[in-house]
Structure 1
Amino acid sequence: MGRSCIPKCKTARLMGWLQIILGSLVILVSILSLTRFYYAGFFLHNEEICQHLYTTIKDVNHGFDAKALSDRVEQVLDMLETLQGKLELKEKEMEKNKGIALDKKYLEDEIVRPLHSANVALRQIRLPKIEEGGNFTVKEDPLINYFVTEEIRKYITSKENRIGKINLYGSDKVYNTIGHACVLHKKELERYMDYDIGSYCDDDWNLAQKLMLNGCDPLPRRRCLTRASKVYYKPYPINESLWRIPDERNVRWGNYQCRNFECLSSKNPKRGYSKCTGCFEMEKEKVKWVSNTSLSTDFLISDVLAIKPGEIRIGLDYGIGTGTFAARMREKNVTIVSTALNLGAPFNEMIALRGLVPLYVTLNQRLPFFDNIMDLIHTSGFMDGWIDFLLLDFILYDWDRVLRPGGLLWIDKFFCKKKDLDDYMYMFLQLRYRKHMWVISPKSKDEVYLSALLQKPPRAI
C-alpha cells in the first residue's frame, strides 16, 4: 500500500508547487499594484500626491508607447491564463482517472515552456525611467515593448557612452535607427533578426530587400556572418573587368531564378527580371552613350561633358543597370556611384565585380550624401510614368540637395503617357534649372520619351 501511494504523492506535490508558483506571481503583481495605488494617494487622499502622479503620468505618456506596453501585459496575462486552464483541466482528468500520472514530455511542453515564456515576456517589459529630482523626462526608447525578439530590442535600445563622456558627435548616447514602417511588418522583421549570434546568417537577402521596399528602411544591423558563394575566384584586373562578364562562381545565386549569366540573356523570356534589357550582355552595353542611334533622346557622354569641360568629376547614376554608365564615365576620369537593387538578378554583384561602386538604396530612401557635392546626377530606366507626383517631388528635391550649384541633372529617356507629359514637364522644370538639352520623341501610339540635361542654378543666399 505504501509503494502505490508514492506516484500519487509525487504528482500531488508537483501540482501543489505549480499552484504555489502561479499564486506567488499573482500575489506579487497584486502587491506591486497596491504599492502604486498607495503612492498615488488613493488610500490617503493626498492632493499633492495626486497632482504629482498626474504630472508624472502626463509627462511619461508623452513619447512612450503605452499601447505596446498594454499589449505586452495582455500577452503575459493570456499566457498565464492559458497555463492555468491547462493545469486545472489536467487536475480534473487526474481526479477522474486515478491511475494517470504526469509524464515528462507533458510537463516540458505544456507547463515548463509556457511558464518560461511568460517569465521571459514579463521580464522584457520595459518601463520608462524617470529622472530623480522632479525632472520627469521619459528615458525609455520608443517601440521597446512592441517587438518580442530580443535582438531587435537590444539593437534599438540606446547605447550610453563609456565613462559618461560626450562622444565626438556631441551626444551621450548612440541611437540605432530602424524605419518607422517596420512596425507594419513585425513578423517579417522578427524573422529577419532571429538568428544565433556569431553564426551564419540565413540566405534571406530577398526578405531584407522586401522589407526595404516596403519602407522598413534602414534595416537593423545584424551580428551574424554573411554567406558568400561556395567557390570564390579573385576578380579580374580593373582594365579587364569593366567590359567582361564576371566569373559566375563569384555570385551567390540563391533566391534568383537564374543560376548563371548565360541564363540572364535578353533572349531568355524566363530570366527573372524585366528592366534593363540586355544589360548582362557586354556587346550591347558597349554601344550605350557612345554611338549615335536613331532616337534623338539618346544623348552621348561626350556631348554632355563638353558642356562643362573639366568640371564633371563625381556623380550618381540613379537607375537600374549593371554599371555601364559608370564604366564609360570612368574611362573619362569621372567617378560615378551607381544605385542598385537586386530585382530578379544580381545587379549589385555585377557592378562590384566590374570594379565599380554599387549603392544599395531604395527609391524611398534619402540619399546618404551631404549637400551640394555632386557634379552630375544621371537617371535612366528606374522611373517612368508609374511614379506618383508627390513621390517624384520628394525625389527631385533630394537630388537638388546633393547636386552642387552648376551641377547637371541628366534625365535619360524618361517615358510616360502623352496625356501626363505636361504634368511631368512641370515637375522637372519647377526648380528653375537651366535647359541645355530638351528632347521629346514618340515611344508608341500613346507614350513619349523625354530626355533632358538641366543645370542647377547658383541660388545665392
Structure 2
Amino acid sequence: MGSVSLKIGDGTARYRRATIFSSAVHLLMLASVLTTNLFALYAFTSAPSPSSAGPTLLLHHGAGGGHGNVSVISEHVALIVGEIEASQRRLHQIERELAGYDTFDPVKPSLPSELKLFLARHPLPLGRDARSGITEMVASVGHSCARSTAADLLRRYMSYKPASPCPVDDSFLPQKLIAKACEPLPRRRCLSRPTAPAATPRLPFPQSIWSPGIKNPGAGVYGLDKLIWIKHRGRNDFLINDVLALGGGGIRIGFDIGGGAGNFAARMAERNVTIVTSTLEVGGKPMNEFVAARGLFPLFLSPTQRFPFYDSVFDLVHTMNALDEGGAPALGQASRTEALEFLMFDIDRVLRAGGLFWLDNYHCADDERKRLVTRLIERFGYKKLRWVVGEKVGTGKMQVYLSAVLQKPARS
C-alpha cells in the first residue's frame, strides 16, 4: 500500500506499490493465457474422428495422425502469407507509379530534352528507402505530361532551342495540355512573344474596368456584363451589396474560381475588394489577357489543380459552375465524386474561419447532382446564410439552379 516518488527535474513520477488485488488479477491473466495456449495446442495436434473430418483432412490422416492436420494448416498459412506479400508488392508498385518512379523513362527518345531535365532523378540523401526500395528522388509533378495522351502536344509545346523564342504555331497549347491533365505545365526556357504591340497604351484604373482597350473576347458571362450582381434577373440572383453586408464589413480579399472575363472581380474592385480570378482560355478566347487589360488579377488555373495559396487567406470564395470542372479528372471528362470532394476541401482550406463561400447560380444537371452537392456542402458544417433552389428556362426546358451564401465555421 502507499506509493514511491521519483523526482526528475521539476516533475515527480509516482509508482504505486502492488496490492493483493492487482497480484490476483495478474495471476488470473497468466492462467488465462496458459489455458488458451493449451487448448490451441490440443486443437492443432489431436486427430479428428472419421465422421467429423472433412475430405481434405482424411487425405492426410492415417499413420501421420495429427501431423496431417498440421500439414494442412501450414499450407493454408503459407497461402495467406503469400497473398499478403503479393498485396504488399502491388501496393509498393502503385506507390512507385504514383510517385513517377517507374512511369517516367528519362532515356525515352521521344520526350523533349527540357522535360527530361525537369524530371531528372536525384539520389536520396540518406540512401535506399527500406519500405519502398526507392533509391532516387523524382519530381513530384509533371509526370502526366510524359504520358502518351499528351506526348504529341508536349513535343510541340517544348519544340524550341533554349533561350530562343517560344513556338507560336498554336497559342492554346497550354490549354490543351491542361485538358490532358498535364498540370502544372513543365518549366520552359524560351522567350515569350507578345500578343499585342508593345506600344499599345493601357487605360488607367478604374477606367480600364469597363473599357479595357482590347477586343471584347465574347458576350454574356465570358465578356463584359454591366448588370450582373447589380440587378435581379431571377430569384437565384444575389446582389453584391447584400452579400458584402452578410460579411459584416470584413471582406477585403477573395478568390473567384472560373471567373471568365473577370466581371465579378471588376464589381468587387469598385467596392475596394481585391479578387483573384482563375480563368482558362474559354472557347479559344484570350481571357487572361483580357482580364489583365481590365487592371485585374488573372490566374491561369484549372479547378482540378490545387490552389496555390496558403491556408485561411481569403475572406470570400466565389464560383458559378466550376464545381463541374473541378469534379473532373481532366477537363471534358465526366464528373467524379472524389474529385469534387478534393475541390471542396481545397476551397475550405483557403477560406478563413467566418469567411463566405458564394455558390452562384450553380446549374444542377439533375436531382441526383443537386443532392450530391447539397450533402457534400452540409458535411462541412457551414452556416447557410442564403440558400435558394430555383428554375430557369435554358435550351428550351426548365433547369434547376442552386445559389447559396455559406459561412465557414470556426473549428477547434
Residue equivalent to 1:414 = 362
Q: Report 1:13-412 matches (<5 A).
A: 143-146=105-108, 148-157=111-120, 178-184=141-147, 185-203=150-168, 204-229=170-195, 231-232=197-198, 233-248=200-215, 261=216, 264-266=217-219, 277=220, 279-280=222-223, 282=224, 285-293=225-233, 295-343=234-282, 344-384=284-324, 387-412=335-360
TM-score (norm 2): 0.64
Inter-partner Cα distance in structure 2 for 1:192 and 1:313: 38
Inter-partner Cα distance in structure 2 for 1:190 and 1:333: 44
Greater share of strand? 2
Greater share of helix? 1
Is contact 1:141–1:156 with CA below 8 Å preserved after alignment? no
Inter-partner Cα distance in structure 1 for 2:268 and 2:382: 23
Does the residue aligned with 1:371 lie in a helix, a strand or coil? coil
Is contact 2:260–2:280 with CA below 8 Å preserved after alignment? no
Residue equivalent to 2:388 = 439
Is contact 1:152–1:190 with CA below 8 Å preserved after alignment? no
Residue type at the aligned position of 2:268: M
Residue type at the aligned position of 2:158: M
Deviations 1:41-65 (A, max 9, x none): xxxxxxxxxxxxxxxxx9xx98989
Is contact 1:435–1:452 with CA below 8 Å preserved after alignment? yes
Deviation at 1:387, TM superposition (A): 3.5
Deviations 1:3-45 (A, max 9, x none): xxxxxxxxxxxxxxxxxxxxxxxxxxxxxxxxxxxxxxxxxxx
Deviations 1:300-344 (A, max 9, x none): 111111112221111100124211111111111111000010022
Residue type at the aligned position of 1:358: P
Inter-partner Cα distance in structure 1 for 2:117 and 2:253: 38
Is contact 1:64–1:142 with CA below 8 Å preserved after alignment? no
Does the residue aligned with 1:447 lie in a helix, a strand or coil? strand
Does the residue aligned with 2:401 lie in a helix, a strand or coil? strand
Please provide the CA RMSD for this pair.
3.0
Is contact 2:258–2:280 with CA below 8 Å preserved after alignment? no
Residue type at the aligned position of 1:374: F
Inter-partner Cα distance in structure 2 for 1:413 and 1:191: 38
Deviation at 1:199, TM superposition (A): 1.3
Inter-partner Cα distance in structure 1 for 2:157 and 2:122: 22
Inter-partner Cα distance in structure 2 for 1:291 and 1:446: 22
Inter-partner Cα distance in structure 1 for 2:409 and 2:203: 42
Deviation at 1:265, TM superposition (A): 4.8
1:430 aligned to which of 367, 379, 403: 379
Pick closer, same or farther for the CA change 1:217–1:417 going to 2, 3 Å: closer
Is contact 1:297–1:441 with CA below 8 Å preserved after alignment? yes
* Structure 1: 5+ residue stretches without partners: 1-57, 69-137, 161-172, 249-260, 267-276
Deviation at 1:244, TM superposition (A): 0.8
Pick closer, same or farther for the CA change 1:244–1:175 going to 2, 3 Å: farther
Does the residue aligned with 2:353 lie in a helix, a strand or coil? strand
Inter-partner Cα distance in structure 1 for 2:336 and 2:267: 31
Residue type at the aligned position of 1:442: E
TM-score (norm 1): 0.57
Does residue 453 in structure 1 map to residue 408 in structure 2?
no
Identity of aligned residues (%): 38
Residue type at the aligned position of 1:316: F
Is contact 1:379–1:410 with CA below 8 Å preserved after alignment? yes
Pick closer, same or farther for the CA change 1:239–1:404 going to 2, 3 Å: same
Inter-partner Cα distance in structure 2 for 1:329 and 1:458: 25
Pick closer, same or farther for the CA change 1:389–1:176 going to 2, 3 Å: closer
Inter-partner Cα distance in structure 2 for 1:348 and 1:234: 17
Residue type at the aligned position of 1:407: G
Q: How many residues align?
A: 289
Pick closer, same or farther for the CA change 1:186–1:244 going to 2, 3 Å: same
Residue type at the aligned position of 1:150: S
* Structure 2: 5+ residue stretches without partners: 1-88, 124-135, 326-333
